[in-house]
Structure 1
Amino acid sequence: MEKTTSQKLRLGLFVIIGLTLFVLAVYFIGDKQKMFGKTYHLNATFNNVNGLQIGNNIRYSGINVGTVRKIQMKNDTIILVDMIIDKAVFPHIKKDAVATIGSDGLVGNMIINILPGKGTSPSVKPGDEIRSQNRIRTDEILNTLSLTSKNMELITIDLLKITNEINRGKGTLGLLINDSIMPKDLKETMHQTSESVAKLNKLITSLNNKDNVIGVLKDSAVANNIKTIVHNLDKSSIEIDKVVGNLNTTILNIKEGKGAINYLSNDPKLVHKIDSTITNINEASFRLNENMEALKHNFLFRGYFKKQEKARNKEPKKEEVDKKY
């Protein structure tokens, strides 16, 4: 049975719409995978890609900038990931940027996040390799949580033992909690301590009073007087030092044979002469007295000495008259 013209038109229209939708789907998918735009290659190495697959997205500062082109295992510890990045974003990625593997949400696909660097390094070039930071795996997290839970269990057991000991009244804390006498003693001690502190505060306050020594010392006038006294003592000390110096010099001169004192003390002949001279003076004085006595009894000078005696007798009478008046 031959098809009518309307049927042929409907078939052609259906084919055209299908091809259009296919082309649009291929375009959008290719655009999302950066298959038709201008892109550059960028590499990163990881120890574990954590389920990353070819075609997964690459984000830079939260923006989709490319996809994973190839995943290649170099050896048992190094996995090379080839990324295709949009050409417009390439100048913004610096050589100190860091690539990390994460997930798109809690249960989403794995993606590569490129973290910006400090901005002081130059931009990357096509084919460069940037640093990577390995993600902590789930099994490692579980192992850490398992170890933590074991430690918490041990801590709980120890804490239970401590609380049991405290409830039984063992140890210092147990005695403080269960002993009824010790809190009273502690209360009395705190009370006595507060009283001592109050007395100490009163004592410190009384130190500013001018009636005690500390208060007197705080007085500016007294301080100035003490300063003056100390200054005068310093001057006196300097003068005493000078006198002592001069005295030391004099003693040194005497020891060295200089001056009359050393001459008198060290020359025995001179001392003997002085002794003889004094003896002669005493003898001359004695003889002079004898001669004066002889002159008093001589008839030629007897009258003169009597006049002298009368004159001496009259002098006391004059002194008595002066005392009366």
Structure 2
Amino acid sequence: MEKTTSQKLRLGLFVIIGLLLFILAVYFIGDKQQMFGKTNQLSAVFSNVSGLQLGNNVRYSGINVGTVRGIAMINDTAIRVDMLIDKTIFPHIRKNAIATIGSDGLVGNMIINIIPGKEKATSISPGDEIRTLSRIRTDDMLNTLGKTNKNAALLTSDLLKITNEINQGTGTVGLLIKDSNLANDLKQTVHYLKITGQGSSESITKINRLISSLENKDNVIGVLKDTAVANNLKKIVLNLKQTSTQIDNVVNNLDTTIVNIKNGKGAVNYLSNDPELVRKIDSTMTNVNEASLRLNENLEALKHNFLLRGYFRKQEKAKLKEQKKEEQK
């Protein structure tokens, strides 16, 4: 059956629309996969890629900047991952940046996250290899959770045993809870301890007051702690020491003098032991007294002599003037 012109137009329009949609899909997919943009290669080596596939996204600080273009096994512990990164992002990626493998959401595809370095460094160059950091995988987390669950089950069984013993009144804790007499004794003990603690607190307060009072300068210890008083006491002790030394010397001299007197040496011994010398001294003193009396009589006689009378009068006038001057003062 020959097709009409309208059917041919519809077919052609359908083919053109389908081709345009295909081209747009290829463009958007290629643009998302960095197929048509200007890109450079960057690589990283991981110990485990955790299901990473070709075409997965590469993010830098949460922004899609490239895609995974190659995954190659180097050895049993190293896997090389090649990435196509937008050229405009290279100046922002530093050489101390770190690449990690994570998931896009809870159940999304695996992606590579490039974390900026904390310290300033030079920008990375095309073809460089950046450092990597292997995070904990989901399997490892599940294994850890499994061990934690086993440990929790063991702890739960032990707690059940302990609670059963407590409820049955066995063990120290069970006795404390079930035995009323023991509880009362413990209560009294705590009460006595409280009273003892209060008494100790009061005693410590009194001791602190006593120690504080010792610091006061009005007290004996406070005075002794004063440096000025200490220096004065030190000087007094030194003076007492010197005085005691001098007293010892005087006592020694007195002992020597007494010994000399006893042994018949010196004038004191003669005066005390020789009576003839004493009588001579007495007669000498008597003669001296008589001579002084006679001398006074001679002086009185000279005062009345007409030759020396004027001299003595002048002396008396001079004495009177001096006495008047002293009285006026």
Which residue is equivalent to 2:223? 227
Q: 1:196, CA displacement in angstroms?
A: 4.5
Distance 1:148 1:101 in 2: 26
SS at match of 2:125: coil
**Unpaired segments of 5 or more residues in structure 1?**
293-325
Taking the aligned partners of 2:126 and 2:35, their CA distance within structure 1 comes to 17
Distance 2:47 2:210 in 1: 78
Using the TM superposition, give the Cα deviation of residue 180 of structure 1 relative to its aligned residue in structure 2, in angstroms: 0.7
Distance 2:167 2:224 in 1: 71
Equivalent residues in 2 for 1:102-113, closer than 5 Å: 102-113=102-113
Equivalent in 239, 244, 259 of residue 241 of structure 2: 244
Give the whole-Å Cα distance in 2 for the aligned partners of 1:88 and 1:190.
76
2:5 is matched by which residue type in structure 1? Answer: T
Aligned runs of 1:57-206 on 2, under 5 Å? 57-197=57-197
Q: Deviations over 1:162-184 (max 9, x none)?
A: 33333343332222112211221
- Alignment-derived partner of residue 263 in structure 2: 272
Return the letter of the residue paired with 1:150: K
Distance between the aligned counterparts of 2:37 and 2:272, measured in 1?
Answer: 147
Q: How far apart, CA to CA, are the structure 1 residues paired with 2:40 and 2:107?
A: 29
Cα distance between partner residues in 1 of 2:202 and 2:247 = 60
- Residues 94 and 119, structure 1, Cα contact 8 Å, conserved in 2: no
Alpha-carbon spacing, 1:82–1:198, altered in 2? closer, same or farther (3 Å): same
TM-score, normalised on structure 1?
0.70
* 1:111 Cα deviation from its structure 2 partner: 1.1
Q: What is the CA-CA distance between 1:104 and the residue it aligns to? A: 1.6
Q: 1:133 to 1:270 in 2, by over 3 A?
A: same
Distance 1:135 1:234, change over 3 A: closer
Distance 1:248 1:166, change over 3 A: farther
Identity across matched positions, percent: 52
Instruction: Determine the C-alpha separation between the residues in 2 that align with 1:29 and 1:271.
Output: 143
User: How many angstroms apart in 1 are the aligned matches of 2:254 and 2:8?
Assistant: 164
Mapping for residues 295-314 of structure 1, pairs under 5 Å: none
Q: Is the 8 A contact 1:61 1:114 kept in 2?
A: yes
The one-letter amino acid of 2:235's match is: I
Cα 1:88–1:216 shift into 2, 3 Å: closer
Q: Which residue of 1 aligns with 2:41?
A: 41
Instruction: Tell me the residue number matched to 2:274.
Output: 283
Give me the CA root mean square deviation.
4.1
Shift in CA distance, 217/138, structure 1 to aligned 2, threshold 3 Å: closer
Q: 1:100 offset after TM fit, Å?
A: 1.3
| CA displacement at 1:205 relative to structure 2 | 7.8
Q: Match of 1:29, as an amino acid? A: I
Distance 1:245 1:275, change over 3 A: closer
Q: Secondary structure at the match of 2:263?
A: helix
Contact 2:101 2:113 in 1 (8 A): yes
C-alpha separation between the residues in 2 aligned to 1:225 and 1:85? 86
For the structure 1 residues 238 and 229, does the alpha-carbon distance in structure 2 shift closer, same or farther, using more than 3 Å as the test? same
TM-score by length of 2: 0.70
Q: Is the contact made by 2:261 and 2:269 (CA closer than 8 Å) also made in structure 1? A: no
* Counterparts of 2:260 and 2:278, CA distance in 1: 27
Q: Which amino acid aligns with 2:103?
A: S
Q: Which amino acid aligns with 2:269?
A: I
Report the CA distance between 1:67 and its aligned residue.
0.6
For 2:146 and 2:182, the matched residues in 1 are separated by 44
Residue 106 of structure 1 aligns to a residue whose secondary structure is coil
Residues 44 and 132, structure 1, Cα contact 8 Å, conserved in 2: yes
Helix, strand or coil at the partner of 1:134: coil
Question: How many correspondences in the alignment?
Answer: 281
